[in-house]
């Protein structure tokens, strides 16, 4: 894995600490200025220290800020560095896009505020070397994203609400899991966490907490809704850096080889496979380009989860597998946001044919066609897997191909949006294209491999058959709205209040009943207090009795 | 210096005669006498604290033959309270009675009452006690009727009748004792007394006679109308002082004279009655429609607390723990005296300003009469038994003694009584804070509010924070030797 | 008469005397009253500062005054009392500023500020109480001093709210009193001792000790608003906003919670409390309260009522932390004493500002208020997020330690779900408010808008207190690990209680 790690230059030691602190701090400092003139350009500025840190700070640099919060520990390790670099790139590109794109008039203010906060959270969790700091970053990122999704449409608001419900559940599951871990280890530092047995409850909660971010099947309904309704820039960072933070969480807290993890790995493998299949199937049935991309993300995350599960079940091959998995995830981290940004540029911008070709290339890379980064990532995985679960890889690749074809088809059929001409977004896409196409690999690492052609053929066949079957009667295609499960559950009217967090006041149910003042006399009140105490006394008494 | 004992009796007696002769000068004369009485009481306190118990044989005869005045911690403490409350009520009364005739009569009666009371507190023999008690009752009846009006006269008459009945019963007991032991001197009696039928019968008669006068439930029915219909300064001294005199005698007789004959069962009986008084008095106070009636019922309840101490005192072994409980009892009596007189004076202010004392129509009092509202609140604090009042400390000891002696019954009674007291006190305050303006909008601090304020502060703050001295004071010894206390 | 035995008394006097003086002032002597108020508040802050410094340097402070044989009024300073004293003194200063602004031009201000000062006097006395007797004394005084404040407006609703408040607190005070007397009778003077006053005594009847514990906790639970003793708190919200702040954050509710902490740690001591099996019940009650309060809060449209039920829920975190044996849970519970206070006072300040400036009393009227009153709403937002437990606001720190403590004590299987459910419910009743305030479109007219000049959205005396407390809530969360932070101080307390 040569990658970009050779780039490390010698940085004066004195500059390391400020740079690391500044990485999460600068976005935070920029956040209050979101409502001012700086707000718009601050979108691109905030991430710069992070990129500098990723490129210049030597791996292993650590920082002890024990006076902040519950003792903040920052460290840049190899994994963190990769995450930091590519996440930073996407945040930079998205920030620039948001500042110059078709919606640039609306980004100053709320969007910029939450963008900076989410960015800060993401960067903090990557650098975190202790449980609490990681959690703080994760929560900051996850909750701030609510404000990013929250566009100006009713649909976006609904999506944001659903997202928030899921995220809150995830945060709390994570909170509990991390509390369990910290208590078991007697410390919150990552380095003292190693080798500490992880209880089943903690594992389940970790899978749940990060699984929501990774949109495991069943935990996914927020994703298609958000991806189709939120502003494009928000979707870009959601689909890339933020989603991958879930994987980073697993990597940090579920080291393969720890006792008792195998059954969980099997479960994850199963769930992930389900995600691959369902994501592909439901994705094909979508009628919006963005929805197809959303389901493609579900499928890809399913694959990542399944492979992580494999790593848990087989600690022997875990190390190379996880290395390859990180590369694979990084590739997705780069391509998916690029695709979303491409959608935006295509809708508004000039040179539509060239843009469409560029998008096509990106889609090909995502599908893992030969000579792309996607193919290289897949090869790395295959090598690490020694031929195991190869069917899953094939299915995934075929599914992705079908989805990409569907995506391009839907995109090309769309009418462009009337928007002012803007060159900069196009330039962003042009710069991003090669990075996303081949990243995280150097072009020299890309070798021609014909393995990719197997799923290609399969996918093409499936696509052709499907097209042929539905060509005459589009009505036979079942209509699955993005967010599938959500709509079905909503139709059943059994939505838990936590999912919609509407709360009673908005529904206006109980409020009138309890606020209506009932006149009560002094005696009645005294009696009431006395009775209540009696009941409590009785309760206390019963339990105070000796065994 | 033992002739100091004479002055607290003599000064008001002479003053009463003087005001009778010169009713026009009643106010200055009365005030001067009250001040002088206070001075005498203060001197007594100082000397007592320095020298301990005092005995004065009047006319030079040895006790047993002649009249002896005796002073111990209990009587000096009550005497001090009496002269303080008397002065405050007197100052308030100077502006209360518009009619100079009534004012003159008030002062002479009041000074006479004061003299009788002090004589009672200092008396060392049973006959004197009887005489002073009788005098006290008669003067009190006259004072009750002072306000005129049908209700006041009826109440006074009732008071008189009941008082006479009590006196008769008491007198019977005195006679029996004299027949049995040939002496009425308390110390002599104490030495001679045996647990035998005479003593038992006498004790019963004496006690019941005193119970009527101290209005212990269920013999309390005369008190509320009498205290509620008397003029405010009179109500104050009746509730604060006169009923306490009877209780003082119960205490004196039980523990200094009849100690050998006492049984726990008897004490329990009084305690139970006291408990019933607490519950019933508090309940009726809560239901009362008028402020002064509330205060009167509250007196019934507070006297119940005093009687509840009896079974506890008896059950505690003589020694430090009984002394602590006894001090608490005295403290409770003192705090109640100050608080109740403050409450009545405050009620008087409201009655004069608003023309009524109906609780439901007190709205706006807090705005119009902030000082008096404050007085009501402070007095309420003491009546409920909340810190920093002396009552709080007393109640603490009451509960502690009850737990220590295993008499758990008193706990719920004290608890319920406290809550009821809270309810009736804050019922008044709740109305006073209310929005109506029937009391009158004039925002004024009148001089007539000051005595009540000082009394309330004494009950709530001074006695609460400075009570520690009381126990030392009481520990200086007794002039009524022979008892086990 | 050295400083070490007069300082606690001086701290009391610094608010008592101005309070008494204010009573005597004429209604229109505004300047003098304000000066007295501020003088008292600032003097108290300085004196408390001296005490904090002293306690940190292991100096001991004690004022002792005998009231009756065996009953001493003891004011002393240990780490726990200093924490509470510092909290209430600091917040009192802000509340005073706020109240001066809030009540400008209303009648009966002398009365109000008089009782206001008495209230904080009682709170500080309670905080510094060196034995159970002293605690009971100030606990009752607090009831007395707050009653007129709740009834201050004089409306039927206010008088009624005050009456209910009184009915509850007097009953609670009575049980506390009986418990305290009982304990005093069997165990002698119960001085608060780190590690537990009763731990040195042996041969006490366990049954009696259990009964006493029940009496004490129920008595304290009334003020701490443990379910089902919480009924007064939502009723008391009729009081003016500064009083609500006082009730919810500075004084009353805190006094109950503080008392529970005292009783468990400094009277019984962790060891004895564990042996007697007292804590699981307390924990269960606290857990029920946490959930119940949150559920009730969901259905309240009245903003202050929603906040009141939120207090019911949040204060029980302190009880919960106390009920879980182990230093980490102790830290979580005790530090929440401070954190909840600062966050909740912010919320009430903000609620007061909405009512004062725009006539907004209900959640459903808050659409778009964020743009109209950004400073206030920002403060509200930070505090609300803290209440939910979102880092890095202070509330997160408490929750984290409670969670860790639960795991440490092996009770995670029921504590963690409670914490999670509570957080979710918190989110469910706070986030809609934030959403409305920031993201919904403002109505064309507010219910009762005050027209004011000036650059700020509110007069400074009303705007700055919530902004300062919100910043504080953020800062003590963000710098929880820094020296002198509440967390640091609480760790010191926990270490001493557990003899570590």
Whether residue A8 is predicted with pLDDT greater than 60 in this model: the reply is no
Span B442-460, average pLDDT: 79
Residue A267 lies in a domain: yes
Q: Mutation target for B interface from C111, C135, C178, C218: give the one with most B CBs within 10 A.
A: C178
Q: Between the CA atoms of A524, A525, A527 and A532, what dihedral angle is there, to the nearest 10 degrees?
A: 140
Whether residue C145 is predicted with pLDDT greater than 60 in this model: the reply is yes
Whether residue C139 is predicted with pLDDT greater than 90 in this model: the reply is yes
Residue C439 lies in a domain: yes
Q: What is the pLDDT of residue A9?
A: 58
Report chain C residues whose CB lies below 8 A from the CB of B370.
111
The answer to whether residue B460 neighbours chain C at the CB level (below 8 Å) is: no
**Considering only A158-162, A480-484, C97-101, which range has the smallest mean pLDDT?**
A480-484
Three-class SS state of C24 = coil
Whether residue C474 is predicted with pLDDT greater than 90 in this model: the reply is yes
Q: Mutation target for C interface from A64, A511, A519: give the one with most C CBs within 10 A.
A: A511
**Considering only B358-367, B389-398, C351-360, which range has the smallest mean pLDDT?**
B358-367
Report chain B residues whose CB lies below 8 A from the CB of A530.
419
User: Which chain C residue's Cα is nearest to A547?
Assistant: C277
Q: Mutation target for C interface from B321, B367, B396, B432: give the one with most C CBs within 10 A.
A: B396
Q: What is the pLDDT of residue C334?
A: 93
The answer to whether residue A156 neighbours chain C at the CB level (below 8 Å) is: no
Whether residue B261 is predicted with pLDDT greater than 90 in this model: the reply is no
Tokens of A104: 């640039």
Cβ atoms of B81 and B58 within 8 Å: the answer is no
Residue ranges of the domains in chain B?
A: 265-485
What residues make up the domain containing A403?
A: 263-485
Residue C230 lies in a domain: no
- The closest of C398, C130, C81, C123 to C255, measured between CA atoms, is C123
Whether residue C167 is predicted with pLDDT greater than 60 in this model: the reply is yes
Report chain C residues whose CB lies below 8 A from the CB of B472.
none
| Beta partners for residue A65, in sequence order | A72
Whether residue B255 is predicted with pLDDT greater than 50 in this model: the reply is yes
Cα–Cα distance for residue pair A306/A217, rounded to 1 Å: 12
Q: What is the pLDDT of residue A421?
A: 65
**Considering only A170-184, A463-477, B330-344, C148-162, which range has the smallest mean pLDDT?**
A463-477
The answer to whether residue A159 neighbours chain C at the CB level (below 8 Å) is: no
The answer to whether residue A29 neighbours chain C at the CB level (below 8 Å) is: no
3-state helix, strand, coil in chain A (%, to 5): 75, 0, 25
Which member of C108, C162, C181 has the closest CB to residue B396? C181
pLDDT band at A521 (very low <50, low <70, confident <90, very high): very low
Cross-chain residue pair C412–A183, CB shorter than 8 Å = yes
* pLDDT 10s digits, C398-442: 999 999 999 888 888 888 889 988 998 999 999 999 999 988 888
Whether residue C208 is predicted with pLDDT greater than 70 in this model: the reply is yes
Cross-chain residue pair B435–C186, CB shorter than 8 Å = no
Q: What is the pLDDT of residue A440?
A: 83
The answer to whether residue B334 neighbours chain C at the CB level (below 8 Å) is: no
Q: What is the pLDDT of residue A515?
A: 33
Which position has the higher pLDDT, B472 or A348?
B472
Cα–Cα distance for residue pair A546/B6, rounded to 1 Å: 65
Q: What is the pLDDT of residue C398?
A: 92
The answer to whether residue C208 neighbours chain A at the CB level (below 8 Å) is: no
Question: Which subunits have 3 or more CB–CB pairs within 8 Å of chain C?
Answer: A, B
Span C1-8, average pLDDT: 81
Cα B462 to chain centroid, rounded: 18
Report chain C residues whose CB lies below 8 A from the CB of B377.
144, 148
User: Which chain A residue's Cα is nearest to B427?
Assistant: A522
**Considering only A269-278, B191-200, C59-68, which range has the smallest mean pLDDT?**
B191-200
Cross-chain residue pair B386–C147, CB shorter than 8 Å = no
Q: Which of residues 46-85 of A touch C (CB under 8 A)?
A: 65-72
Cα–Cα distance for residue pair A526/B211, rounded to 1 Å: 32
Residue C424 lies in a domain: yes
Q: What is the pLDDT of residue B380?
A: 92
Q: What is the pLDDT of residue A2?
A: 40
Q: Which are the contacts of C19, defined by CB distance < 8 A and separation ≥ 6?
A: C40, C113, C114, C115, C116, C117, C118, C121
Tokens of B229: 């219909």
Q: Mutation target for A interface from C263, C416, C484, C485: give the one with most A CBs within 10 A.
A: C416
* pLDDT 10s digits, C330-344: 999 999 999 999 999
Q: What are phi and psi of B63, to 5 degrees?
A: -55, 145
What residues make up the domain containing C433?
A: 278-500
User: Which chain A residue's Cα is nearest to C282?
Assistant: A540
pLDDT band at A540 (very low <50, low <70, confident <90, very high): very low
Q: Mutation target for B interface from C17, C64, C159: give the one with most B CBs within 10 A.
A: C159
Q: What is the pLDDT of residue A447?
A: 74
Tokens of B212: 């009527």
Q: How far is B401 from chain C (nearest CA, A)?
A: 8
* pLDDT 10s digits, B224-240: 888 888 899 999 999 99
Q: What are phi and psi of C278, to 5 degrees?
A: -85, -30
pLDDT band at B61 (very low <50, low <70, confident <90, very high): low
Span A214-242, average pLDDT: 91
Cβ atoms of B370 and B377 within 8 Å: the answer is no
* Count of pairs with CB atoms under 8 A, one residue in A, one in C: 183
Cα–Cα distance for residue pair C44/C19, rounded to 1 Å: 13
- The closest of B226, B199, B316 to B267, measured between CA atoms, is B316
Q: What is the ipTM of this complex?
A: 0.88
The answer to whether residue A522 neighbours chain B at the CB level (below 8 Å) is: yes
Question: Structurally, how many domains does chain A consist of?
Answer: 1
Q: What is the pLDDT of residue B136?
A: 93
Q: What is the pLDDT of residue C290?
A: 94
The answer to whether residue C229 neighbours chain A at the CB level (below 8 Å) is: yes
Span B395-418, average pLDDT: 92
| Beta partners for residue A63, in sequence order | A74
Cross-chain residue pair B419–C174, CB shorter than 8 Å = yes
Whether residue A502 is predicted with pLDDT greater than 60 in this model: the reply is no
DSSP per-residue letters across B348-409: HHHHHHHS--BGGG-TTHHHH-HHHHHHHHHHHHHHHT-TTSHHHHHHHHHHHHHHHTT-TT
pLDDT band at C285 (very low <50, low <70, confident <90, very high): very high
Cα–Cα distance for residue pair B90/B93, rounded to 1 Å: 5
Check the CA dihedral A112-A117-A122-A124 and report its sign.
Answer: positive
pLDDT band at B388 (very low <50, low <70, confident <90, very high): confident
Residue C333 lies in a domain: yes
Span C106-123, average pLDDT: 89
Residue A519 lies in a domain: no
Span A479-490, average pLDDT: 74
Question: Structurally, how many domains does chain C consist of?
Answer: 1
Q: How far is C130 from chain A (nearest CA, A)?
A: 27
Cα–Cα distance for residue pair C60/C10, rounded to 1 Å: 15
Q: What is the pLDDT of residue B443?
A: 52
Cis amide linkage into residue B388, ω under 30° from 0 = yes
Report chain A residues whose CB lies below 8 A from the CB of B419.
526, 530
* pLDDT 10s digits, A343-384: 888 887 677 788 889 999 999 899 888 888 888 888 888 888
C67 membership: H or E segment, kind and range: strand C62-68
The answer to whether residue A526 neighbours chain B at the CB level (below 8 Å) is: yes
* pLDDT 10s digits, A12-64: 777 888 899 999 999 999 988 888 878 888 888 999 999 999 988 888 888 88
pLDDT band at B263 (very low <50, low <70, confident <90, very high): confident
Cβ atoms of B140 and B236 within 8 Å: the answer is no
Residue C178 lies in a domain: no
Whether residue A425 is predicted with pLDDT greater than 80 in this model: the reply is yes
Check the CA dihedral B22-B24-B28-B31 and report its sign.
Answer: positive
Cα–Cα distance for residue pair C82/C493, rounded to 1 Å: 10
Q: What is the pTM of this model?
A: 0.83
């Amino acid at each position: 894995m040569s990658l970009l790690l050779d780039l490390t230059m010698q940085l004066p030691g004195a500059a390391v600490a400020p740079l690391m602190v500044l990485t999460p701090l600068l976005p935070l400092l920029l956040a209050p200025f979101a409502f001012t003139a700086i707000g718009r350009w601050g979108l691109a500025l905030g991430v710069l220290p992070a990129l500098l840190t990723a490129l210049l700070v030597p791996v292993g640099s650590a920082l002890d800020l024990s006076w902040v919060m519950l003792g903040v520990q920052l460290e840049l390790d190899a994994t963190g560095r990769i995450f930091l670099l590519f996440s930073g790139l996407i945040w930079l590109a998205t920030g620039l896009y948001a500042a110059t794109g078709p919606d640039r008039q609306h980004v100053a203010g709320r969007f910029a505020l939450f963008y900076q906060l989410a960015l800060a959270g993401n960067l903090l969790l990557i650098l975190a070397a202790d449980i609490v700091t990681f959690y703080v970053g994760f929560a900051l990122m996850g909750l701030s994203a609510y404000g990013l999704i929250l566009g100006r449409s009713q649909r976006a608001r609904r999506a944001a609400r659903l997202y928030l419900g899921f995220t809150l559940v995830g945060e709390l599951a994570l909170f509990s899991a991390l509390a369990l871990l910290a208590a078991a280890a007697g410390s919150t530092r990552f380095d003292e966490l190693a080798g500490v047995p992880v209880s089943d409850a903690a594992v389940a909660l970790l899978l749940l907490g990060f699984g929501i971010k990774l949109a495991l099947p069943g935990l996914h309904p927020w994703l298609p809704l958000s991806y189709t309704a939120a502003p494009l820039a928000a979707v870009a960072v959601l689909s890339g850096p933020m989603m991958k933070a879930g994987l980073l969480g697993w990597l940090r807290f579920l080291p393969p080889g720890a006792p008792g993890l195998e059954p969980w790995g099997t479960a994850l493998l199963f769930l992930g496979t389900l995600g691959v299949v369902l994501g592909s199937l439901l994705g094909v049935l979508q009628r919006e380009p963005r929805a197809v991309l959303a389901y493609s993300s579900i499928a890809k995350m399913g694959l990542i989860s399944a492979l992580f599960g494999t790593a848990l079940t087989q600690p022997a091959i875990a190390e190379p597998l996880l290395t390859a998995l990180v590369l694979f995830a990084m590739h997705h981290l780069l391509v998916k946001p690029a695709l979303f940004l491409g959608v935006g540029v295509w809708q508004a911008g000039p040179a539509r044919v060239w843009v469409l070709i560029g998008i096509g290339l990106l889609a090909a890379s995502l599908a893992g066609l030969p000579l792309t980064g996607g193919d290289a990532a897949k090869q790395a995985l295959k090598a690490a897997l020694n031929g195991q679960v190869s069917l899953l890889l094939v299915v995934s690749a075929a599914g992705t191909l079908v989805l990409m074809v569907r995506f391009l088809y839907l995109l090309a059929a769309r009418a462009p949006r009337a928007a002012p001409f803007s060159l900069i977004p196009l330039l962003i896409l042009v710069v991003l294209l090669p990075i996303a196409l081949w990243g995280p690999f150097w072009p020299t690492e890309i070798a021609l491999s014909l393995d990719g052609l197997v799923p290609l053929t399969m996918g093409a066949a499936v696509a052709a058959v499907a097209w042929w079957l539905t060509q005459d009667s589009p009505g036979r295609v079942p209509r699955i709205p993005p967010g599938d499960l959500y709509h079905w559950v909503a139709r059943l009217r059994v939505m838990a209040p936590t999912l919609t967090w509407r709360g009673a006041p908005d529904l206006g149910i109980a409020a009138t009943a309890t606020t209506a003042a009932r006149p009560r006399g002094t005696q009645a009140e005294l009696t009431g207090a006395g009775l209540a105490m009696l009941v409590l006394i009785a309760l206390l008494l019963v339990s105070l009795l000796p065994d | 210096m033992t002739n100091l004992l004479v002055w607290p009796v003599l000064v008001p007696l002479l003053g009463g005669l003087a005001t009778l002769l010169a009713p026009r000068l009643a106010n200055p004369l009365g005030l001067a006498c009250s001040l002088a009485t206070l001075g005498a009481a203060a001197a007594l306190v100082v000397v007592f604290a320095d020298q301990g118990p005092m005995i004065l044989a009047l006319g030079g005869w040895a006790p047993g033959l002649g009249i002896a005045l005796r002073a111990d911690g209990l009587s000096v403490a009550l005497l001090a309270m009496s002269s303080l409350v008397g002065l405050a009520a007197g100052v308030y009364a100077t502006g209360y009675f518009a009619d100079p005739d009534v004012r003159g009569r008030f002062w002479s009666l009041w000074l006479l009452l004061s003299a009788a009371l002090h004589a009672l507190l200092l008396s060392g023999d049973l006959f004197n006690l009887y005489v002073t008690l009788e005098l006290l009752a008669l003067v009190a009846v006259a004072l009750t009727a002072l306000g005129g009006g049908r209700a006041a006269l009826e109440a006074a008459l009732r008071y008189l009748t009941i008082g006479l009945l009590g006196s008769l019963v008491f007198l019977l007991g005195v006679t029996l004792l004299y027949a049995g032991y040939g002496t009425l001197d308390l110390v002599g009696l104490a030495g001679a007394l045996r647990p035998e039928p005479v003593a038992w019968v006498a004790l019963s008669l004496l006690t019941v006679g005193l119970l009527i006068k101290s209005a212990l439930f269920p013999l309390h029915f005369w008190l509320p109308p009498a205290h509620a219909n008397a003029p405010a300064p009179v109500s104050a001294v009746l509730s604060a002082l006169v009923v306490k005199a009877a209780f003082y005698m119960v205490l004196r007789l039980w523990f200094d004279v009849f100690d050998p004959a006492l049984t726990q069962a008897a004490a329990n009986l009084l305690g139970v009655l006291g408990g019933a008084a607490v519950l019933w008095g508090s309940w009726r106070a809560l239901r009362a429609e008028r402020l002064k009636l509330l205060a009167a019922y509250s007196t019934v309840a507070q006297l119940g607390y005093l009687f509840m101490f009896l079974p506890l005192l008896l059950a505690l072994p003589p020694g430090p723990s009984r002394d602590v409980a006894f001090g608490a009892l005295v403290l409770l009596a003192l705090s109640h005296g100050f608080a109740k007189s403050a409450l009545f004076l405050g009620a008087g202010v409201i009655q004069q300003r608003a023309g009524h004392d109906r609780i439901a129509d007190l709205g706006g009092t807090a705005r119009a009469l902030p000082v008096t509202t404050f007085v009501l609140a402070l007095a309420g604090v003491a009546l409920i038994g909340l810190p920093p009042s002396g009552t709080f400390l007393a109640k603490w000891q009451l509960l502690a003694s009850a737990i220590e002696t295993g008499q758990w019954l008193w706990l719920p009674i004290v608890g319920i009584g406290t809550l009821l007291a809270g309810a009736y006190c804050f019922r008044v305050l709740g109305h006073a804070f209310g929005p109506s303006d029937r009391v009158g909008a004039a925002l004024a601090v009148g001089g007539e509010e000051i005595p009540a304020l000082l009394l309330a502060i004494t009950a709530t703050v001074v006695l609460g924070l400075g009570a520690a001295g009381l126990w030392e004071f009481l520990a200086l010894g007794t002039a009524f030797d022979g008892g086990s206390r | 008469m050295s400083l070490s035995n007069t300082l606690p008394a001086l701290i009391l006097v610094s608010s008592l005397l101005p309070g008494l003086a204010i009573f005597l002032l004429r209604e229109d002597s505004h300047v003098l009253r304000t000066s007295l108020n501020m003088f008292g508040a600032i003097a108290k802050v300085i004196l408390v500062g001296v005490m904090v410094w002293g306690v940190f340097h292991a100096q001991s402070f004690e004022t002792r005054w005998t009231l009756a044989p065996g009953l001493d009024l003891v004011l002393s300073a240990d780490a726990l009392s200093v924490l509470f004293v510092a909290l209430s003194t600091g917040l009192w200063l802000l509340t005073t500023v706020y109240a001066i602004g809030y009540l400008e031009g209303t009648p009966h201000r002398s009365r109000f500020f008089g009782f206001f000062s008495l209230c904080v006097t009682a709170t500080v006395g309670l905080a510094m109480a060196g034995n159970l007797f002293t605690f009971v004394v100030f606990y009752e005084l607090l009831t007395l001093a707050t009653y007129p404040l709740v009834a201050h407006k004089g409306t039927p609703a206010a008088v009624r709210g005050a009456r209910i408040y009184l009915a509850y607190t007097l009953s609670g005070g009575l049980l506390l009193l009986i418990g305290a007397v009982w304990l005093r009778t069997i165990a002698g003077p119960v001085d608060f001792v780190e590690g537990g006053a009763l731990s040195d005594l042996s041969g006490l009847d366990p049954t009696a000790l259990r009964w006493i514990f029940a009496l004490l906790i129920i008595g304290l639970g009334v003020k701490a608003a443990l379910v089902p003793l919480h009924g007064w708190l939502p009723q008391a919200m009729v009081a003016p906003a500064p009083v609500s702040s006082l009730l919810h954050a500075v004084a009353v509710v805190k006094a109950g919670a503080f008392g529970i902490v005292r009783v468990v740690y400094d009277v019984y001591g962790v060891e004895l409390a564990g042996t007697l099996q007292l804590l699981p019940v307390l924990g269960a009650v606290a857990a029920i309260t946490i959930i119940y309060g949150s559920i009730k809060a969901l259905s309240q449209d009245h903003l202050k009522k929603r906040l009141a039920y939120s207090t019911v829920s949040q204060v029980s975190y302190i009880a919960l932390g106390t009920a879980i044996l182990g230093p980490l849970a102790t830290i979580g519970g005790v530090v929440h004493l401070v954190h909840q206070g600062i966050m909740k006072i912010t919320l009430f300040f903000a609620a007061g500002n909405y009512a004062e400036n725009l006539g907004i009393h209900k959640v459903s009227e808050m659409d778009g208020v964020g743009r109209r009153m950004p400073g206030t709403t920002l403060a509200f937002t930070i505090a609300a997020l803290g209440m939910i437990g979102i880092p890095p606001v202070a509330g997160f720190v408490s929750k984290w330690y409670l969670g860790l403590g639960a795991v440490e004590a092996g009770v995670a299987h029921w504590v963690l779900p409670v914490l999670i459910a509570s957080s979710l419910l918190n989110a469910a009743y706070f986030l809609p408010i934030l959403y409305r305030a920031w993201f919904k479109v403002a109505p064309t007219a507010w219910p009762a808008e005050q027209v004011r000049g000036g650059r700020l959205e509110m007069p400074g005396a009303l705007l700055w207190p919530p902004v300062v407390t919100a910043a504080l809530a953020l800062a003590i969360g963000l710098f929880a690990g820094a020296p002198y932070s509440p967390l640091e101080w609480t760790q010191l307390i926990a270490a001493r209680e557990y003899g570590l």
